[in-house]
Amino acid sequence: MSAIPKQLFGLRVEVLRSRRKTSVLHIIGDELQIRVPNRVRDRKIVEILEMKEKWIRNKAIQLQNQPISKAKEFVSGESFALFGKNLKLKVLEGGRVGTKLEGDYLLTNVRATEIGDVRKFRIKTYIEKWYIKEAYKRLEEKVISYSEIIRVSPREMKVRNYKTRWGSCDKEGRLTFNFHLIKAPHPIVDYVVVHELCHMLQLNHSKFFWNEVEKYDPLFKEHKKWLQLNGAELIR
């Protein structure tokens, strides 16, 4: 290949340049991310893709062989995950609109006059708002706890609806997390929190950085692999 392809083995290719010092490949959903330092030229990126071609092909085949999840209909009885546990959706009419957790149920109130696609859109919106609010509360608790252990002081924390990343940390210590993350089991969520907090010690993915991560999450390799294999399912 002579130019950076837009697609490779059915995966959309996205190049992300930053102040990082190393290059790394990630596959999230149907997207192949190539994270490289700002100085890296397109020719070098093509060389990386060619060198990793076998790995990319094998990963693409694995994704193609995974069973395709049925799209959510947002009706009573459907399952929604919270820290690896399945919650059942129960749609109710009347009362204050919105979503709340009650036991193992996500109770979502809608107006009786809302039907069809309008109702589906409303339910989806209410559930997403609930996830974002819950994610902020739960992730903030974990950030506070691990910050004390790692001995760092984040400047602020935000929650966003990302499609291609689980978290980020800038040089000022501002953290951002994907709200879909709280659908994963606790150890996976903890790994991402630790990962981002360790960037306050090493703003790169060097050997020193991973050594720091391992101090606080000895099983980080397993947790990282779990996200690679199951992450796409969380953001559907």
Question: What's residue 2's pLDDT?
Answer: 65
At 176 the three-state DSSP class reads strand
| Look-up of token digits 């819950």 | 134
Alpha helices in 91-219 (DSSP H): 116-150, 186-198, 207-216
How far is residue 193's CA from residue 160's CA, in Å, rounded to a whole number?
14
pLDDT in tens, 140-180: 999 999 999 999 999 999 999 988 789 999 999 999 999 99
> Is the confidence at residue 70, as pLDDT, over 80?
no
Kindly report the number of other CB atoms within 10 A of residue 123's CB atom: 25
pLDDT in tens, 3-62: 888 888 888 888 888 888 888 888 876 788 888 898 989 999 899 999 999 998 888 887
Average pLDDT of every residue of the chain = 90
Question: What's residue 69's pLDDT?
Answer: 60
pLDDT in tens, 170-195: 999 999 999 999 999 999 999 999 99
pLDDT-based confidence at residue 72 (cuts at 50, 70, 90): confident
At 216 the three-state DSSP class reads helix
How far is residue 31's CA from residue 101's CA, in Å, rounded to a whole number?
32
pLDDT in tens, 125-137: 999 999 999 999 9
Class of domain 79-234: alpha beta
> Is the confidence at residue 65, as pLDDT, over 70?
no
The pTM is what? Answer: 0.75
pLDDT in tens, 190-235: 999 999 999 999 999 899 999 999 999 999 999 998 998 888 888 8
Please state whether 9 falls in left (phi above 0), alpha (psi between -120 and 50) or beta. Answer: left
Question: What's residue 7's pLDDT?
Answer: 87
- CA-CA-CA-CA torsion sign (30, 34, 38, 44): negative
Structural domain boundaries in the chain: 7-65, 79-234
pLDDT in tens, 93-131: 988 999 999 999 999 999 999 899 999 999 999 999 999
Question: Which secondary-structure segment (H or E) carries 198?
Answer: helix 186-198
Question: What's residue 64's pLDDT?
Answer: 67
Residue pair 115/123 in contact (Cβ under 8 Å)? The answer is: no
